[in-house]
Amino acid sequence: MLGLSSVKPGSDGHWTVSQISCHSDLVTDMDFSPFDDSLLGTCSGDETVKLWRLCDPELEQPSEPELTLHPGQGKLELLLFHPTSSGLLAVGATKSLLIWDTSRQDAPLAALEQHSDQLQSLSWKQDGSLLASTCKDKMLRVFDPRAQLTPVQSAKSLQNNKDSRILWAKDDLLLTTGFDMMRCREARLWDSRKLSSSVTSLSLGSSSGMLIPLLDDDTGLLILAGMGDTVVDCYEVSPFEPFLSQVSHCLTDISTRGVAMVPKLALDVMSCEVMRLLQLCDSCIVPISYQVPRKHTGQEFHADLYPDTVGTTPAMSADEWWQGGNKQVEKVSLHPDKRPKASPASRMPAKKEQASRGSKEDPARGCSTSSSPLTTPSSSSAAPSRSPSSTSGLSSGFLPSPSPSQSAKAIQNLLGPTSKFRHIQGSVTHRDTHITNLRGLNLTTPGECDGFCVNSKRVAVPLAISGGQIAIFERSQPGRLPDSDLPTIQNSVNVVDLCWDPFDTRCLAVAGDDAKIRLWQVPEGGLSETLTEPEIILQGHLEKIYSIKFHPLASGLLVSSSYDLTVRMWNVETGEQVKLLTGHQDQVFCMAWSPDGKLLASVCKDGKVRIYDPRKSTTPVQEGPGPDGHRGARVVWVCDGRYLLVSGFDSCSERMLYLYSADSLSSGIISSTSVDISPSTLIPFYDPDTSLVILTAKGDTRVLIYEVIPEDPYFVECSSFSSSEPHKGLAFLPKSECNVREVEVAAGLMLTKTAIEPVVFRVPRVKKEFFQDDVYPDTAVCWEAALTSSAWLSGSNGQHRKISLKPDDMTPVSEAPKEAPVRKYMPSSFYLEEKTDEQKKEELLSAMVAKLGNMDEPLPQESFQGVDEDEWAKYLVQVIVMGVQVVGRAFARALQQEFAASQAAAQARSRAGQQSAAASSITGMSLQEAQQILNVSALNPEEIQKSYEHLFKVNDKSVGGSFYLQSKVVRAKERLEEELSIQKTDETQKNTET
């Protein structure tokens, strides 16, 4: 069963979805003919290919196909029309690849060499000469079906046999999307003439959803959208480095189940719409429009945005192509007045929604965009995208009859709160601050462990070495580590979890798989020898430990969870167990202390979220429903302890964020938002000063950022940060480590395979010379204990003192002097005032001189002294450009001198000869003015010509000159030539009279 709808609404303003029952088995692929919008090809597990002549969705669809093919190769997986020839199809069975001429139904034109495993994707080259395929055997193959049945190029190039896609890019480049050996999604660019190695590659996170690539052949813009993702990325493909450069990053509100591009002829070109995507979701199709901001939008056609595109008339028949023809489809203009007249077929539906699940269909294989800078796209879904830079939208939606609740949500999101952190920028600091050459990292720590831990002075990293060894690195000593063995902490058993004491930068707690917790004291200055004896051992759990957490306010208190389904609290100063909490029915995923240190929250595999008050009860004081998924979860307190944020999975294994009220867990989730599909649990870090929650997972490349607010919509999405390679963990430092002069709101360390890299998150601000007191409220001194463990256990409560992060030499931005308003427009009298010709001429000459540069300032080359040899090439180019500037400045001086002289000579013009005066009137330039421009004193033809050629060349527009100055030079030469002609005539007359 297929669902069909048109791109544009019907006569009643609504979209109609009709259905067509086309196969007896699952529809595996489909494709519209590039030359007939009403011709749809489908293939299925019933081993048939069918061509359907569709009607308008408002009418009844045909019950029988126009043509049925029976390849007889088993289940059919792929179907693709030829880009230049009519009636030509590429059909992929499980391992077979066939070329069919629909006018000859008995047998295929060619049966290409069988693949050794299942076919995954096909793509015709734009000129129709070659056909490329990807296969589960990790091979890339390029066929020339008319020359030979075997591949003309093949190589084992893919790194993973999971699903892949292939597209022909510019020239001889091929683009593939798939997975690497670590099962991270990637996109690679290949030279089809050399498939042994890729030209470039992109790593796009560890999500399990397939990446759908869509390419605009005219501009080289590439769209990458992942199944299950809420992100659509746009890249520009170039045949030169950097090959793939990102253009935009669009955040959507609904997870993607498929994506297509609307044909160019359907775009609103008068509104500067250069691309429109259709995002297929669970219950709707959402259009995403890309528009270029231009003046006179809606009034003029901007030809530079729309190159001629491929038309809808086939270049040849299938038989002509098979006989060796290589004709190309004629291109057409997108100008509304020059477009080809639409035939009835072209008004038929051009896009479709597949109702059956599990299909491999890429809803479209071509798109239309522009290489001009784009505004970040916005979707017109029921809940508009909260992308940080969403500025343009569609003039109409695509959702059929949105419900009142959807309309209310749309209005609420449009008028609701926006985050001042929406443009937050994450970046990795300079390589000089990295700790590199890490070896032997333990990459298999349990999911409840963050992977490593940091404090303001040190980093602790578990190693994959027998004996549960832990490396300790001093943050004050970055650089490359030696290849020799380093002193470590010998924990004796495998490390399950570890964390630093928040009030003692030397104390490290390590939980082992022997159900014991060991506390180690790192010497001041770092490890100089291997530590083998812990300061104290905490034992009492009956089975392996899940996780450990220090109390945020009281010194010497530690809580741990275990496979014995208990949570135990320890006094690390005495080594005694002080509390035993029960009530969990399964694995404890995570624990979190409330900001005031009174309560302890936990999320469990039994599907429950619990809150304990350890000093009052050993059982939960509150309990509520947790995430549906059982793959892992994390919990953190937000909004001053009023809410609990839980990151987990839903029943479809999609990563989700859930918000609970800490006062009423039993009432369930008050808000949730979907993130993406990925197997790793998101680890949240919450900053109470800014209410930002930063999330990432082990193995991800993307760091997500949300602002959590105590009102609807609760989650305000901000810009995300992507790393160049998958990281193994991300841990954050105290707020005191942030550089407030650069408006850093969070700072952390990112663990990769071979390095520890500092990462900072900055808020872009204009007046960074002032202290941004709206971003930096007084922060808690979380590195100092507020009370002792005995005081807390006896019932006392405390809170951290707070300090300002403002440096003494900075002024708060709230106290910055107010700038006087600048008038944007001049008063109307300025424009209405009538100016004399002399005033206009003076203003024109002043503008010319200002453009050529300040004559009084020294030239840049005058400051050049010693120049390194490796910079000669750069300075040589500067010297050439500056030489032109010198000539231009000399010319500007001449113009100013000429202007002064022309005023002095104005009184003498009445005494000039009648013929010379007439010439001056005709050319609009006096003799003296022309001589000053060409810098000649005598009327010598050779000198005039030489000066003219030099000044004309110097002021050529191609070398930075001015067309206006060139015209002045030409007019000056014409005036002097006219004067020479007058003098020659006078001399002739005198000679005749004599």
Other residues' Cβ atoms within 10 Å of the Cβ of residue 327: 14
Cβ–Cβ < 8 Å for 212, 199: no
Crossing angle of helices 837-852/872-904, nearest 10°?
160
What value does the mean pLDDT take over residues 946-970?
Answer: 77
Q: How confident is the model at residue 892 (pLDDT cuts 50, 70, 90)?
A: low
Is 50 exceeded by the pLDDT of residue 312?
yes
Closest CA to 727 of 421, 428, 422, 486: 428
Q: Mention every residue, 6+ apart, whose C-beta is less than 8 A from residue 888.
A: 852, 853, 954, 955, 960, 961
Q: Confidence band (pLDDT; 50, 70, 90) for 355?
A: very low
d(CA 192, CA 208) in angstroms, rounded, equals: 27
Residue 722 has pLDDT above 80, yes or no: yes
| β-sheet with 27-33: strand ranges across | 27-33, 36-44, 49-53, 67-69
Q: How far apart are CA 830 and CA 593, in angstroms?
A: 67
- Rounded to an integer, what distance in angstroms lies between the CA atom of residue 799 and that of residue 548? 22
Task: Give the CA dihedral 250, 255, 258, 262, nearest 10 degrees.
Answer: -40
Query: What is each CA distance from 655 to 398, 645, 727, in whole angstroms?
Result: 27, 13, 18
* Dist. CA 506–CA 529, nearest whole Å: 15
- Distance CA(270)–CA(36), nearest Å, equals 25
Given a cut of 90, whether residue 899 has pLDDT beyond it is no
Band of residue 351 on the pLDDT scale cut at 50, 70, 90? very low
The token pair that represents 528 in the structure block: 């100089």
Average pLDDT over residues 216-236: 88
Partners of 515 in the β-ladder: none
Annotate 759-793 with three-state secondary structure.
EEEECCCCCCCCECCCCCCCEECCCCCCEEHHHHH
What residues form DSSP beta bridges with 52?
Answer: 40
pLDDT of 673 > 80? The answer is: yes
pLDDT tens-digit map of 775-832: 999 999 999 999 999 999 999 999 999 999 999 999 999 888 876 555 545 555 555 5
How confident is the model over 838-861, as a mean pLDDT? 62
d(CA 6, CA 17): 8
State yes or no: pLDDT of 638 exceeds 90.
Answer: yes
Looking at the DSSP bridge assignments, the partners of residue 249 are 233
Residue 372 has pLDDT above 60, yes or no: no
Supply 30's token pair.
Answer: 């489909």
Quick one: which of 36, 371, 34 has its CA closest to 170? 371
Give the separation between CA 603 and CA 196, rounded to whole angstroms.
48
Nearest to 45 by CA among 285, 324, 336, 358: 358
Mind listing the pLDDT tens digit for each residue in 732-780? 999 999 999 999 999 999 999 999 999 999 999 888 899 999 999 999 9
Model pLDDT, residue 438: 92
Q: Which residue has the tokens 């928040």?
A: 502
Provide the CA 16 distance to its chain's centre, in angstroms.
34
What pLDDT, on the 0 to 100 scale, is given for residue 201? 87
For residue 560, what are its two tokens?
Answer: 């741990």
Q: For residue 906, give the amino acid letter.
A: A
- Answer whether 647's CB lies under 8 Å from 656's CB: yes
pLDDT of residue 833: 57
Check pLDDT > 70 for residue 348.
no
How far is the C-alpha of 354 from the C-alpha of 2, rounded, in Å? 5
Closest CA to 671 of 662, 661, 681, 663: 661
Lowest mean pLDDT among 813-827, 905-919, 968-982: 905-919
Mean pLDDT taken over the chain: 81
Q: What is the pLDDT of residues 41-77, one digit of tens each?
A: 999 988 889 998 888 777 778 888 888 888 888 888 8
Tally Cβ neighbours within 10 Å of residue 987: 10
Residue 92, pLDDT above cutoff 70: yes
Q: Which pLDDT score, from 0 to 100, does residue 409 have? A: 43
Collect all residues with Cβ–Cβ distance below 8 Å to 152 and sequence separation of at least 6.
130, 142, 143, 144
pLDDT tens for 577-625 read 999 999 999 999 999 999 999 999 999 999 999 999 999 999 999 999 9
Retrieve residue 436's tokens.
């590199």
Contact 211, 223 (CB under 8 A): no
Give the mean pLDDT of 459-468.
89
Note the pLDDT of residue 194. 83
Report which listed range, 204-208, 354-358, 407-411, is most confident. 204-208
Rounded to the nearest 10°, the torsion over CA 261, 263, 267, 273 is 40
pLDDT digits (tens, 9 = 90+) for 375-421: 434 333 333 333 333 333 333 333 333 443 443 344 344 345 678 88
Q: How far is the C-alpha of 818 from the C-alpha of 102, rounded, in Å?
A: 75
Please give the DSSP secondary-structure letter assigned to residue 523. P
* Residue 318, phi then psi, degrees to nearest 5: -60, -40
pLDDT, residue 665, reads 92
Mean pLDDT is lowest, of 491-505, 697-711, 888-902, for 888-902
Question: What gap in Å lies between CA 385 and CA 309, rounded to an integer?
Answer: 30
Residue 353: its pLDDT value, please?
37
Query: How much is the pLDDT for 163?
Result: 87
* pLDDT for the residue numbered 820: 59
The one-letter code for the residue type at 845 is L
Mean pLDDT of 299-320: 86
pLDDT in tens, 138-163: 888 999 999 888 998 888 878 888 88
Percent of the chain with pLDDT over 90: 38
**Cα separation values, 97 from 49, 91, 149, Å:** 13, 6, 10
pLDDT at 360 over 70: no
Quote the tokens at residue 76: 């059919």
Integer Cα distance of 881 and 164 in angstroms:
50
Distance CA 265, CA 579 (A): 71
* Residues 93, 88: Cα–Cα separation, whole Å: 16
Q: Biggest alpha carbon distance in the chain?
A: 134
End-to-end alpha carbon distance in the chain: 108
**Does the CA dihedral 715-812-425-232 come out positive or negative?**
positive
For residue 625, the tally of other CB atoms under 10 A from its CB is 15
How would you classify the pairing of strands 435-436 and 479-480?
parallel
